[in-house]
Structure 1
Amino acid sequence: MKLVYTRSLKPQMILARPLYSEKGTLLLAEGIQLNERLVGMLDRMEVPFVYVRDDRFPDLEVRPLISHRNLGRAIRELHRTYEDATRNSTKAALVADFDQLFDVVRSVLDEVLSQPDLVVHLLDVRSNDGYSYQHSVQTMILSMMIGRRMALPEAQLHNLGLGALLAGIGKAFIPSRILTRSGPLSREERELLYHYPRFGWELLEGYGNVWPTARIVTLQHQERWNGSGYPSGLKGEAIHLFSRIVAVADVHDALVSRRPWREALRPYEAFAQITAESGGLFDPAVVDIYQKIVTPYPIGTWLYLSTGHIGMVTDCFVDDTLRPQVRIVRHERTGPLSRPLTLDMRQYPDLEIGAVLDGEPEGDGSDEAEKEREKGGKEGVEKGAAKV
C-alpha cells in the first residue's frame, strides 16, 4: 500500500482503501482497479489522494482508526440529524431521534478504548462534497483519543464525543452560500456565521439526553485560549475542557481537508500550525497530548532522509510521533535498492528527515527534496512557524 495524490494516479492502479460519500455510502471499494473514467471521477470529486496497492509493501495492511462500518454509520446518522434540524428550522422542532446517534458514539468509543496505543497514523480518504459530516466524525474520534490520554472517565469520554459530533449542528441554520464562500464575507455574513455556536446551543436546549458537558461544546468549540475566539471571547480555563479539546481536534481535521477557499495542508504543515499556537489559540496541555498521538508523517508519506535515502512511512509510534518507521527503497546517489530496508528512526537519533515528498520521486529525489526544504520541510514541523 502507498499513498498517491490524485494528480499522479494512473489506470491499472488498485485501491487499497475504500472511499465513502457524504452520506456514508460506499463509493469505491477496496480492491477495485482504476481506469481513466474512475480517475477522472476522483478528480471531479476533488478527492486529494487515495491509497493504492504496491507489491513492494505486501505486508502493509493498516487498520483504520475505527471500522468502516462504524464510520459509515456515524456519517449516515449525523447526516440524518442535520437534515432533520434543517428541515424544521427551529429549535423547538428538532424531532431527530438521538438514540441511534448515542449508540454510534458508544460504538466508536468502544473501538477507541480497545486500542491503547492508537495513533493518528492514517489519512482519511474523503471527497470534498463529504466534508461536513466526515469532518465531524473525525473530530469526534480525535477528541476521544485526546480525552482518553488525559485520563477522562468513560462516561465523560462519551459526552466529549457526542459534543464533538454535534459541535457544528448550528450550521444547519447558516445559508450554504456563506459556509462555502471562497471569497471574503460581508460584515453581516460574518456576524451571522459567528452566531452558529449559539444556534447549536439553543437547538439542544431542553433535550435531556444531551448532557450539559456535551451541549457546552456546541457553544464553546470556537473559543480560543487567548480570548480571540467566538461567540463570547472566553479565555483560558473559562473555556470548558471539552471545548478546548474539541478546538484542537476540529482545527487539525479542518487543516488537512480541502476547503473552497484553500487547498488541504499536508499533515506535517497542520501539525506545525497547531504546535505554533500552543498557549496562543490552544490550551498547551491539550496540544501536548495532541503531539503524542498525531503524527506529522502518516503511513504512506514519502520522506527524504538526511543520509540521502528515500522511503515510505510504514509505521508510527505513540509518544514519539516525529520518528516513524520507514521502508527505504532508494538512495539519491545509487538509485533503487535491490531489497527494501526497514528502518526504525527511534533507533538512529542522529538521522533526520530532510523533506516530506508528495510521492515517490521518479528520479533520485533530490530535486523534490530541495523544493520541499524551500517550503519548510522538517524545520516547519519543529518550529511551527505558520499561523492557523
Structure 2
Amino acid sequence: MRLVNIERVKPGDELAQSILGADGAILLREGVILTDTYIKRLKSIGVEFLYIKDAHLDDLKGQDAEFLQLKSQAVKSVSTVFSKLQYNNVNEVRNTMDTILNIVEYLLENKDINSTYLMELKTFDNYTFIHSLNTCVLALFFGVNLNYTRNMLLDLGMGALLHDIGKTKIQTEILNKKGKLTEEEFEIMKKHTIYGYDIVKNIRYINERGRLVVLEHHERFDGSGYPNKLKGENISMFARIGCISDVYDAIISDRVYRKGFLANEAYEFILGGSGTFFDVELVKIFKNNFSIYPLGVCVRLSNGIEGFVVGHNKGLPDKPVVRIIYDEKGNSIQPIEIDLSKQTNITIVDVIV
C-alpha cells in the first residue's frame, strides 16, 4: 500500500485502507476500485490523503479488520456520548468504557505496533470524533509504554477520549470560525476545559485522574496554559500525556483556518516544546517510541533518490527503512532497501505528498 495525496489518485486505483465517517460507519471499504465520482466525493468531504494498493509495496498492510472494527465502534460511541452528555445523559458512558477497554486489550496484545498505524484519517465532518479517538489511542500508546495497569489505561483512555467534551457548550460559530479568534472569543473557547470537567465530574464511571485530563489538557509545563496556569508536576500526569497526544493530532490535522503539519514537522514541534509546553520525560518517551513517517509514504533522500518507507527502527524515528523502486529518471528498478539507521551519510530531506 502507498500513502498518496488525493490529488494524485486516479480512477482505477484500489483503496488499501477503509475510510470511516463521522458516525463510525465505513464510507469506503478497503478493496474498492476508485472512480472519478468516488474521488470527487472524497475531496468534497475533506479527505486529503488515502492509501492505495501498489504492487511494489504489496507487503505493507493496512489496519487489520479487528482494529478497524474497534475504531469504528469507538467513533460511533464517542459520537453518541458527546450528544448524550451535552444533556447530562450518562447512560452511554458505560458502553464507551467497554469500547475503550477493548482498545486497551488490543494495544496490550500488540505492544510492538507502530504509532502511525494507530492514527485514523480525518474528513471535514468527522474531525471532532476522529480527533477524540486519535488523542485517546495516542494517550494509550503512551500508557502502554509506561507499563500502566489496565485500570490506569482505562482511566487515561476515558479522559483522553472525552477531553474536548466541553466544546459541546461552545457556540458553533466560534468552533468553526475560519479566521483568528478575537480575544473575547478565545476567552470563551478556553472555558471548554471547565465546561468539560463540569460534565464529567459527577460521572461515577470516570475516575478523577481521568477527569483531570478533561480539565488540564491545555495546561503547559512552563505554566503558560489554561485554565489554571498550573506548572510542571502540579499538572496531573494523565493530563500531561493528554496534552502531547492532543497537540500532536491537532497539528497534523487540517482545520477550517489552516492546513495540517506533516507528521515529521509535528514531531519536531513536540521535541521543540520539551520543558516549555511539554513534560521533558514524556517527550523522551515520545521520541523513543513514536514514528514520524507512515508506512507507504514517499520520501526524498539526501542523495536525491526517492523511496517509500517500509519499516521503522525503534528509538530512531527519523531513520526508517526505505525501499527504492525507481531510479533518478523515474524508471522502475529492482527494489533496493536502505536501512537509514545503518547509514551515516544518507538522511530524509523531504516528504513527497
TM superposition score normalised by structure 2: 0.95
Deviations 1:300-359 (A, max 9, x none): 221121233221001123222111111101232x6434211122222223322232222x
Describe the superposition over 1:131-169 as per-residue Cα deviations: whole angstroms up to 9, x where unpaired: 101111111111011122122222211111111011111
* Aligned residue in 1 for 2:78: 78
Change over 3 Å in CA distance of 1:228–1:66 after alignment to 2: farther
Q: Which residue of 1 aligns with 2:143?
A: 147
Deviates more, 1:6-15 or 1:152-161: 152-161
The 1-side partners of 2:302 and 2:182 are apart by: 48
In the TM superposition, residue 251 of structure 1 has moved relative to its aligned partner by 0.6
Contact 1:117 1:318 in 2 (8 A): no
Matches within 5 A, 1:38-57: 38-57=38-57
Structure 1 CA distance for aligned equivalents of residues 291 and 302 of structure 2: 19
- Indicate the larger mover: 213-222 or 94-103: 94-103
CA contact (8 A) 1:16 1:52 kept: yes
Structure 2 equivalent of residue 134 of structure 1: 130
Contact preservation (8 Å) 2:60, 2:296:
no
SS of the aligned residue for 2:129 comes to helix
Aligned position for 1:165 = 161
Tell me the equivalent position of 1:113. Answer: 108
- Going from structure 1 to structure 2, the CA distance change for 1:33 and 1:83 (only over 3 Å counts) comes to same
In the TM superposition, 1:302-341 aligns within 5 A as: 302-332=298-328, 335-341=330-336
Contact 2:296 2:310 survives alignment (8 Å): yes
Q: Match of 2:260? A: 264
Q: Distance in 2 between matches of 1:72 and 1:221?
A: 25
Which residue type is aligned with residue 47 of structure 1? V
In structure 2, which of residues 318, 337, 346 is the aligned counterpart of residue 342 of structure 1? 337
Gaps in structure 1 of 5+ consecutive residues: 359-388
Q: Classify the secondary structure of the residue corresponding to 1:98.
A: helix
CA distance in 2, matches of 1:352, 1:112: 31
User: Do the aligned partners of 2:20 and 2:27 also contact (CA within 8 Å) in 1?
Assistant: yes
1:200 matched to which residue of 2?
196
Q: Give the share of equivalent positions with the same residue, in percent.
A: 30
Q: Which residue of 2 aligns with 1:37?
A: 37
Aligned to 1:104: 99
Do the aligned partners of residues 219 and 73 (structure 1) sit closer, same or farther apart at CA in structure 2, a change above 3 Å counting?
same
Work out whether residues 222 and 277 of structure 2, in 8 Å CA contact, stay in contact via their aligned partners in 1: yes
Q: Which amino acid aligns with 1:175?
A: Q
Q: Secondary structure at the match of 2:334?
A: strand
Q: In 1, distance between residues paired with 2:85 and 2:157?
A: 20
CA 1:66–1:231 in structure 2 vs 1: closer, same or farther (change >3 Å)?
Answer: farther
For residues 66 and 346 of structure 1, the distance between their equivalents in structure 2, rounded to whole angstroms, comes to: 32
CA contact 2:218–2:243 (8 Å) conserved in 1:
yes
Q: 1:107 Cα shift?
A: 0.3
Distance in structure 2 (CA, Å) of the matches to 1:280 and 1:178: 28
Provide the C-alpha distance between the structure 1 equivalents of 2:219 and 2:349, rounded to a whole number of angstroms.
Answer: 36
Cα distance between partner residues in 2 of 1:119 and 1:205:
33
**Cα-to-partner distance string for 1:187-221 (whole Å, 9 max, x where unaligned):** 33222211111111111222222111111111001
| 2:223 corresponds to | 227
Structure 1 residues 314 and 140: CA distance shift in structure 2, 3 A: same
2:200 and 2:246 map into 1 onto residues whose CA distance is 20
- Does the 8 Å contact 1:163/1:216 carry over to 2? yes
Q: 1:60 aligned to 2:60?
A: yes
> 4+ residue stretches of structure 1 with deviation over 6 A?
none
Q: Does 1:281 align with 2:244?
A: no
Letter in structure 2 aligned against 1:309: I
- Give me the whole-angstrom Cα distance separating, in 2, the residues matched to 1:74 and 1:82: 12
Is 1:215 paired with 2:219?
A: no
2: CA distance between counterparts of 1:290 and 1:312?
A: 23
Cross-structure match for 1:250 = 246
Kept after mapping to 1: 8 A contact 2:164/2:214: yes
- SS of residue in 1 equivalent to 2:211: helix
Conserved 8 A contact 2:4-2:49 = yes
* 3-state SS in 2 of match to 1:295: coil
Partner residue of 2:287?
Answer: 291
The number of equivalent residue pairs is 352
Instruction: Verify the 8 A CA contact 1:13 1:53 in the aligned structure 2.
Output: yes
Superposition CA RMSD, Å? 1.6
Instruction: Please say if residues 23 and 79 of structure 2, whose CA atoms lie closer than 8 Å, have aligned partners that are also in contact.
Output: yes
Contact 1:121 1:316 in 2 (8 A): no
8 Å Cα contact 2:78-2:129 kept in structure 1: yes
The amino acid of 1:268's aligned partner reads: N
Mark the CA change 1:95 to 1:241 in structure 2 (over 3 Å): closer, same or farther: closer
